[in-house]
Structure 1
Amino acid sequence: MPENESWEYSLSIPNDPRAVTVSRRTLRLILTMHGLIGLVDVAELLATELVANAVRHTKGPAALRVHWAAGVLRIGAWDSDPAPPEPPVPFDQAVEWEREEGRGLALVRACSELWGWQPLYRDGSRGKLVWCELGAA
């Protein structure tokens, strides 16, 4: 894939736990079609965590955003809650590993090259975008 090629996709999703699977499968298809199969596994993990947080912790709609430019893949999840996400807890701190929640942003931080969040407006609604980046390596 040419490094100078750029593209962006956005998938609007309802506040429904099934949207996480739809988002993950859509991301796999996007990356495969663009010849970025080497990023699929980590990108799926990151997108799953971001979208799951957007669906689990808010009541409104959400969106998966995928952007490729200059050899960097940016994955983001928009949600309708403008409050910042809870900071990730480091893995070496007291985290109950049996729990099914509470490690999402720690995984994002550990598996991505860069992550963050920003307030964002979408279709006239306030909210935030939580994002992370992966290089093509």
Structure 2
Amino acid sequence: MPHSKGETRAEPWEYSLHIPHDPRSVTVCRRTLRLILTLHGLIRLADVAELLAAELISNAVRHTKGPATLRLCWRDGILRIGAWDASPEPPPYELAVAPDSEAGRGLVLVRACADDWGWHPQRQGGDFGKYVWCDLGAA
């Protein structure tokens, strides 16, 4: 399979980072994501992927009370970024947010920057929560 100079072959991979309920976890997730993408030759996706992951994880930390998990999955030229949290409630998103608002724009950014996104209830271990995800294509 042909690939660009400096890019690893497109073998599927997946990582999960379990994080505590702590606002500092957002920074840990961003830096870990950048390292993973760098090691897999996908640094060109890092800036947008970091923004998307930070929005998903910050929502999980801000709007729930339990732990969270960042999941990164690469398959068929698509990077899926997902965040599991311990609340089964739908993700907090507004269809219209005031331009000068400093809150409520997270999923608006996700919708604008990702190729696709969604959420569904999901059990992780013994905890029932939700999984919010977005896809970012390599092209």
Smaller-chain TM-score bracket: over 0.9
Task: Report 1:1-137 matches (<5 A).
Answer: 1-3=8-10, 5-89=11-95, 93=96, 95-137=97-139
Measured against aligned partners, the alpha-carbon deviations of 1:30-55 in whole angstroms (never above 9, x if no partner) come to: 00000000000000000000000000
Question: Hey, what's the Cα distance between the residues in 2 that align with 1:102 and 1:39?
Answer: 24
Taking only aligned residues, the RMSD between alpha carbons, in angstroms, comes to: 1.1
Shift of residue 85, structure 1, vs aligned partner: 1.1
Alignment length, in residue pairs? 132
- What amino acid is aligned across from residue 131 of structure 2 in structure 1? L
Contact 2:60 2:68 in 1 (8 A): yes
Shift of residue 96, structure 1, vs aligned partner: 3.3
Give structure 1 stretches of 5+ with no counterpart. Answer: none
Contact 2:93 2:104 in 1 (8 A): no
Question: Hey, what's the Cα distance between the residues in 1 that align with 2:94 and 2:135?
Answer: 16
Equivalent position SS for 2:41:
coil
- TM normalised by structure 1 equals 0.92
- What amino acid is aligned across from residue 36 of structure 2 in structure 1? I
Shift of residue 6, structure 1, vs aligned partner: 0.4
Equivalent position SS for 1:59:
coil
